[in-house]
Amino acid sequence: MRSIVWFRHNLRLSDNPPLYHASREGPVLPVYIWDPSLDTLPDGARKWWLAGSLRALNGQLETHGLTLVLLRGPSEEILFRLARDLQIGAVHAAPGRTPEERRLDLKVSRILSGAGVPFLTESTDYLIAPEFVPEGRSGPWKVFTPFWRFCRSRLSPDSPLPAPAKIAKVPGPRGERLEDWGWDPPVPDWAQTMRRTWRPGEAAALERLELFVAETLAGYGRRRDFPAEDGTSKLSPHLAQGEISPRQIWRKVTESKALEKDREKFLEELGWREFAAHLLRHNPEMLESPLRKIFLNYPWKAEGRGFELWKRGMTGFPLVDAGMRELRLTGGMPNRVRMVAASFLVKNLGISWRSGAAWFAENLVDYDPASNAASWQWVAGCGTDSAPFFRIFNPVLQGERYDPRGEYVRKFVPELARIPDRYLHRPWMISGGSGNCPGDFSSSYPDPFVDLKTSRIAALQAFRRLSTPG
């Protein structure tokens, strides 16, 4: 039987059930669709990565004599036309991850079934597909720890599938050229540092996993919070585009000889990704709206100048600024710094988590709707299982604790490169608190935009008013 394999968030050949099964049943037409109805974000780091990922996938398909057919338009119409014109017996795909994508799945399924073509979906993105995670005693899980305890005790993911040995080809249309989609950076090329930092594609993902397990997994629990250390896997962008599957990662990590506590800590982080997907499955409004409804009335400030300074890494707080500049330069930011930068925006600047989440979505190479919204809501205190609102990260203390020698800050905030360690996270102190740093050190680095203590108190008061009836 001839099939279409519709590639979505599973841009790889190995452990790809839709591709594996379709290729065993007969010839395959591999298709990727750029559907403008789903593409509401501005082009940015994510698109840069996606373009690299599609090129890498096409290169792999070419070794089997196939070409990835790129098409643009409404997915359901494109799939229907292809199925009708090419006498296709089935369309195989991974199911949608977001509420919008799931609505699209229903449309595709309806239209194809009208033509007698089954739409067959198989999950490839999670250890347990969110729709198959049994609910807790009182409904869908709301708190991570019991969710993960439950999943971990039952979890034995199936073995990853190999890449198909042979894939026969359905001759199809030529499709569009990626160069014509405008996803590559224009001149001047803003993606230079990204290109030096990352390599999209399945081969790079598998290499990164090998390297992480061989060199970094031992010590992961101890080092993961220190942004200057190369202490985490950096697999998130590969996972976001499905260049690697969580069960491939699971298999490699559980078979490694690293200490159990490092392995378990790492698997727990993958668990947070599963938890975010579970939350989104049961709370489709979560991308836009706080899970704790009381926060609908929180008096967020307008974005204004504070937001601009935060985005540009010019708030005057070195750890926040280093993180925000790293984001713009590379499309990445370590988890600890994401938490501190997000807390600063929401609690010290009083700007809504939704503004921050939108900026991250535009700039992260690993943007994942569920993980991004769940993490922002966790930091803002408006998620079902979140840091309590009164837990406000202090960017100075966090910097001193997690970047004590300032290696991370110095890398991304060159104005502070020569400042002595003891002033690094509070550069305004160098002149005895006058606010002016002597030119020798950091004349171009800004003074703090807000007072940490006053803004913290204001946030706590706003929250208290919110939670006090009447």
Ligand X SMILES: Cc1cc2nc3c(=O)[nH]c(=O)nc-3n(C[C@H](O)[C@H](O)[C@H](O)COP(=O)(O)OP(=O)(O)OC[C@H]3O[C@@H](n4cnc5c(N)ncnc54)[C@H](O)[C@@H]3O)c2cc1C
408 lies in the binding site for ligand X (CB under 6 A): no
Judged by CB under 6 A, which stretch of 137-145, 174-182, 312-320, 363-371 contacts ligand X? Answer: 363-371
List 150, 272, 300, 441, residue binding ligand X (CB under 6 A): 272
Rounded CA gap, 219 and 230, in Å?
A: 11
> Other CB atoms closer than 10 Å to residue 437's CB: what's the count?
22
Please give the helix or strand (H or E) that residue 121 lies within, else none: strand 119-121
330 lies in the binding site for ligand X (CB under 6 A): no
360 lies in the binding site for ligand X (CB under 6 A): yes
How many residues of this chain interact with ligand X, rule: CB under 6 A?
28
List 57, 151, 309, 339, residue binding ligand X (CB under 6 A): 339
Judged by CB under 6 A, which stretch of 72-80, 91-99, 265-273, 314-322 contacts ligand X? Answer: 265-273
Contacts 24+ apart (CB under 8 A), 324-330: 325/412, 325/413, 326/412, 327/360, 327/363, 327/364, 328/363, 329/193, 329/194, 329/412, 330/193, 330/194, 330/197, 330/198, 330/365
Residue 387 has φ and ψ, to the nearest 5°, of: -60, 140
List 9, 338, 347, 425, residue binding ligand X (CB under 6 A): 338
CB nearer ligand X, residue 324 or residue 419: 324
386 lies in the binding site for ligand X (CB under 6 A): no
CB nearer ligand X, residue 161 or residue 235: 235
**What residues have CB less than 8 Å from 201, skipping those under 6 apart?**
52, 53, 55, 56, 57, 59, 243
For the CB of residue 360, give the shortest distance to ligand X in the complex, in Å.
Answer: 5
List 270, 280, 349, 459, residue binding ligand X (CB under 6 A): 270
Distances (CA, A) of 423 to 238, 308, 364, 435: 37, 25, 30, 13
For the CB of residue 459, give the shortest distance to ligand X in the complex, in Å.
Answer: 17
The residue whose two tokens read 């007969």 is 26
Judged by CB under 6 A, which stretch of 24-32, 174-182, 251-259, 370-378 contacts ligand X? Answer: 370-378
For the CB of residue 231, give the shortest distance to ligand X in the complex, in Å.
Answer: 8
CB nearer ligand X, residue 47 or residue 64: 47
CB nearer ligand X, residue 167 or residue 276: 276
For the CB of residue 35, give the shortest distance to ligand X in the complex, in Å.
Answer: 20
For the CB of residue 345, give the shortest distance to ligand X in the complex, in Å.
Answer: 9
For the CB of residue 318, give the shortest distance to ligand X in the complex, in Å.
Answer: 18
CB nearer ligand X, residue 176 or residue 362: 362
Distances (CA, A) of 167 to 27, 59, 133, 170, 174: 7, 14, 33, 10, 18
Buried b (16+ CB within 10 A) or exposed e, 267-305: beebbbbbbbbbbbbbbeebbeebbbeebeebebeebee
Burial status of residue 432 (CB atoms within 10 A of its CB: 0-12, 13-18, 19 or more): exposed
For the CB of residue 3, give the shortest distance to ligand X in the complex, in Å.
Answer: 30
379 lies in the binding site for ligand X (CB under 6 A): yes
Rounded CA gap, 358 and 377, in Å?
A: 13
Distances (CA, A) of 65 to 16, 32, 92, 439, 444: 18, 17, 20, 62, 56
State in Å, rounded, how far the first CA of the chain is from the last one.
66
335 lies in the binding site for ligand X (CB under 6 A): yes
Judged by CB under 6 A, which stretch of 68-76, 182-190, 372-380, 410-418 contacts ligand X? Answer: 372-380
202 lies in the binding site for ligand X (CB under 6 A): no
List 80, 126, 367, 412, residue binding ligand X (CB under 6 A): 367
- Residues in contact with ligand X by CB under 6 A are 224, 232-236, 239-240, 269-270, 272-273, 276, 334-335, 338-339, 342, 360, 364, 366-368, 371-372, 375-376, 379
